Amino acid sequence: MKIQDRQYLLTQQYKDPSNLNARIRLHELFSTNPQGIHAWMFDQFALPENCTMLELGCGPATLWQENLTRVSAGWRATLTDFSPGMVAAAQQALAGQPNFTIEQVDAQNLPYPDATFDVVMAHYMLYHVPDRPRALAEIARVLKPGGKFYAMTIGAQHLKEIFEIMRDFDSEWREGHVHTPFTLENGGPQIAPFFSNVELRLYEDSLAITETEPLIQYMRSMSRLSDVDWTDEKITALRAQLETRLTQHGVLHVRKDNGMFIAEKAQ
């Protein structure tokens, strides 16, 4: 599965933040919930004034860039990602911020002693990890007893209409589209063996897309993540089809399913 292919993820998809940023941009431009997912995520954290935390798969640290004013002086956050390009982007984004240390770490092998952190978080990344039981065991190991684990992910129907357009457009995509192995529907049973009190909170949102180009950039980034890498010719033809569609209908409504698992390490 390309979504879990370490070499592909490191050297292409997450070599730098450009594919991820194309996806974030579509959400920033056309999401109907004005709160914004990163503000909502922060609202779910119940973090004490003084707290040590570890983030896995932090990407370019967008969560922290967007919530910098809400970071307490007593927090010590270790942000990690296995991609050197993402680590560099996070370091650049948070340069001079005293609360953060950025390190290159694979979620399946955490180089920290047992019971180091009050909080561990892993957002939109567990579906990339081939050995999730091992990563979840590592997360439980480095958490202090009573420590919290937070993990955002998507549902199986997330962005359904976008994937339908891609499947209808091209049979190759129909065969090779991304299957997500850690979702809102199947994530709970995967987490439960390692933690107590697993809870799921949902973020209500949708997209109302009115421009073609950000959608094309999104599709391009997703087609790379599937087992089908579309040619520029196909993307050009799809762009023409979408432009006609948006001219006719004015807007494309798209379902979004996002949520956060919250779990606790037994005392």
Tokens of 255: 């379902």
CA distance 10 to 189: 28
**Residue 76 · residue 52 · CB < 8 Å:** yes
Residues that bind ligand SAM in the complex, under the rule CB under 6 A: 9, 14, 20, 56-59, 62, 81-83, 86, 106-108, 123-125, 128-129
Instruction: Give 31 or 212: the residue with its C-beta nearer to ligand SAM.
Output: 31
In angstroms, give the least distance from the CB of 26 to ligand SAM. Answer: 13
In angstroms, give the least distance from the CB of 55 to ligand SAM. Answer: 7
Instruction: Give 12 or 99: the residue with its C-beta nearer to ligand SAM.
Output: 12
In angstroms, give the least distance from the CB of 171 to ligand SAM. Answer: 27
Instruction: Give 86 or 198: the residue with its C-beta nearer to ligand SAM.
Output: 86
Other Cβ atoms less than 10 A from the Cβ of 46: the count is 9
Instruction: Give 70 or 253: the residue with its C-beta nearer to ligand SAM.
Output: 70
Instruction: Give 20 or 238: the residue with its C-beta nearer to ligand SAM.
Output: 20
In order of 59, 105, 131, 182, the CA distances from 137 in angstroms are 22, 15, 10, 16
In angstroms, give the least distance from the CB of 108 to ligand SAM. Answer: 6
In angstroms, give the least distance from the CB of 152 to ligand SAM. Answer: 6
Full DSSP string of 161-217: HHHHHHHHH-HHHHHHPPPPSS-TTTHHHHHGGG-EEEEEEEE--EEEE--HHHHHH
**Residue 211 · residue 239 · CB < 8 Å:** no
